[in-house]
Structure 1
Amino acid sequence: MNFTTSPTHNVLLGAVTLLCCALAPQAQATDASPAADETTVTLGLGMGVTPRYMGSDRYRPLVLPMLSIQHGAWFADTTRGVGLQFQSDSGFSASAAINYDLGRKEKNSTTSPGGDELRGMGDINGATVANFTLSQQLLDWLSVNGEAELRMAGEHRGNRYRFGLEGILMHTDRDTLSLAIDAHAGDSRYNQTFFGVTQAQSQRSIYSKYTADAGIYAYSAALNWQHTFDAHWSTLASLTLTQYADQASDSPLVRREGSGLGLFAINYTF
């Protein structure tokens, strides 16, 4: 399996896909598409715990101020970035966005991934990325989806991919309980950046040399519960379990093959 692409190819692919998504709502708009003149703003605050970095056996508190603005097909989101989304009444949806990846620090950080045990590995600088998602509803309660995150500028850290299934376990007027099961993959540069150890890094750190190839590096299961109080207030509780495998499981940087992320958020929409 080979996921390798050049930075120039990523920029061109990003531009073409953004253009296609921009044209799609005009050419294929359906009743399921957001109204062109409707604007929705959501403010929120999320709190939880997350591993210090991918593969870490230590955790750090997570505080996430959240802002989401939706105007027709356009959105600006502190989680997803800035972009376009499209949804048809046949159950197909797609989005394209520009976002920013924080990278990884070689010391403990309260605002980005990193840990003191990574000293000598060097920082992984941030990178501007293009995110593309596709989803197709198979049944009333089941959909298949995929995501590609392509590096556009900044750190040459490669590209990552995700594909999986999402099922609605329960849905009422006030509550929605869903389960998403995904496989996470990276090209050779991405896996080497986050899980590999070069000879130079090995000499500066406590880790032995390790070379990661392209392929799946983890599987995850995410349980999400959204509760709506009224037209404005809602909460979200999320638990994500990740199991590192294949290209990551033998990496000396992965101190624990299984990890969890817990998050609780309260949101106000107006």
Structure 2
Amino acid sequence: MKKLLAITLAAACGSAAAQTPAVNRMPDGSRDLYVGLGAVSAPRYDGARERRVSALPVLQLELSNGIFISGMSAGMHLSSAPSVEYGPLLALQLRRSASGSASGIGGVDSASFPGIVAQPPMVYRNAPPRQLEGIDPIGARLQAGAFFNLYLSPRLRLTNNVLVGSGNDKKGATWSVAVQRIAAEPALHHAVSISAGLTVANRAHNDAFFGVAPAEAQRSGYAVYQAAGGIKDVHVGARWNWAMSPSWIVTSGLQASRLVGGAKDSPLLQRPANVTVSTALAFRF
């Protein structure tokens, strides 16, 4: 159970990074598989005021050759050094329509968890808030990139991943970096993890998700806006895992992010700080 550190919510929260589970040293030909189901409460889209509760399927598969599937991402560990993890990474960008972002799949791993921040007063650039009516949908896209993780100590990990291909024109790119304090054990069968980090996005990514084109402005009534690149959000978080048995685990967590820079100045923004809460039950095969 030492590798079972968290069920993450990258697919449920736009600020979270694609997931790269810690390398699991296994005998040749073996595999580790987790399947489960939970619930997640999250904003309808990044920067939205309204929330929704939805089911959260859980899936993680790790093979002895380094290949892994974790939620909505997949990749391969290439490093044999115990203090370094790196390799290629694929992640699915979910569709965003006028009703919000699509629901996704969680994974079981040691990825970053955005955490708790005080909720500021709601900020409306347009009143009343109309969400994304008149804004072009953003289709689902497969993004490609790489990850690089460095262990600063046995329980402190610096994670990095870069993904390209977001947005309808597939020109968006993001870099996510975080520091993780991995799984302290305050009591028998219980583990707590914390993390803090930020996401940097290029102009194409920010403009796809936070910009308003002239045609969209005519349909929606929002002002025309081009979102600049730079730091998109900062995030912190915590995760609590309860290992009920060698095969069953209950995991609960809270993650939060705050939009900054070009994303925060968007007319689409209703609330700069978003919080996602989840709980799930997973079984290890």
Give the TM-score of the pair, scaled to structure 1. Answer: 0.80
Could you say which residue in structure 1 is the equivalent of 2:223?
208
Whether the aligned pair in 1 keeps the contact of 2:73 and 2:91 (CA below 8 Å) is yes
Matches of 1:261 and 1:152, distance apart in 2: 22
Counterpart in 2 of 1:146?
160
Tell me the alpha carbon deviations over residues 225-245 of structure 1, each in whole angstroms, 9 at most, x when there is no partner.
122122101121111111111
* Distance in 2, Cα, partners of 1:102 & 1:131: 16
Q: Which residue of the partner structure matches residue 200 of structure 2? A: 185
Aligned sequence identity (%): 22
Determine if the alignment matches structure 1 residue 126 to structure 2 residue 140. Answer: yes
Counterpart-to-counterpart distance in 1, 2:182 and 2:94? 31
The structure where helix makes up a greater share of residues is 1
- C-alpha displacement of 1:110: 6.2
SS in 2 for 1:253: coil
Match of 1:63 in 2: 55
SS at match of 1:61: strand
Alpha-carbon separation, structure 1, partners of 2:93 and 2:52: 18
Aligned to 1:104: 96
Structure 1 residue 154 displacement after superposition: 6.5
Contact 1:124–1:155 (CA under 8 A) maintained in structure 2: no
Inter-partner Cα distance in structure 1 for 2:47 and 2:171: 17
Aligned residues of 1:32 and 1:89 also touching (Cα < 8 A): no
Match of 2:242 in 1: 227
Question: How far apart are the structure 2 equivalents of 1:152 and 1:106?
Answer: 18
**Measured at CA, do residues 233 and 259 of structure 1 come closer, stay the same or move farther in structure 2, by a change above 3 Å?**
same
- d(CA) in 1 for partners of 2:167, 2:46: 22
CA contact (8 A) 2:44 2:99 kept: no
How far apart, in 2, do the equivalents of 1:125 and 1:80 lie?
17
Shift, 1:128, TM fit: 1.0
Bigger relative contact order, structure 1 or 2 (CA pairs below 8 A, ≥6 apart): 2
How many residue pairs were aligned? Answer: 237
Q: Measure how far apart 1:248 and its partner are.
A: 1.1
2:30 is aligned with 1:44: no
Q: CA deviation at 1:42?
A: 1.1
2:16 maps to what in 1? none
- Say if 1:153 and 1:52 are closer, same or farther in 2 by CA, change over 3 A: closer
Q: Do 2:167 and 2:208's aligned partners in 1 also have CA atoms closer than 8 Å?
A: no
Partner of 1:168: 182
Distance in structure 2 (CA, Å) of the matches to 1:86 and 1:177: 28
SS in 2 for 1:240: strand
CA separation in 2, counterparts of 1:152 and 1:218?
16
SS of the residue corresponding to residue 131 of structure 2 reads helix
**Residue of structure 2 aligned with 1:76, choices 69, 78, 82:** 69
Provide the C-alpha distance between the structure 2 equivalents of 1:249 and 1:181, rounded to a whole number of angstroms: 19
Does the Cα contact within 8 Å between 1:33 and 1:86 map onto a contact in 2? no
Identify the residue that residue 83 of structure 2 maps to in structure 1.
Answer: 91
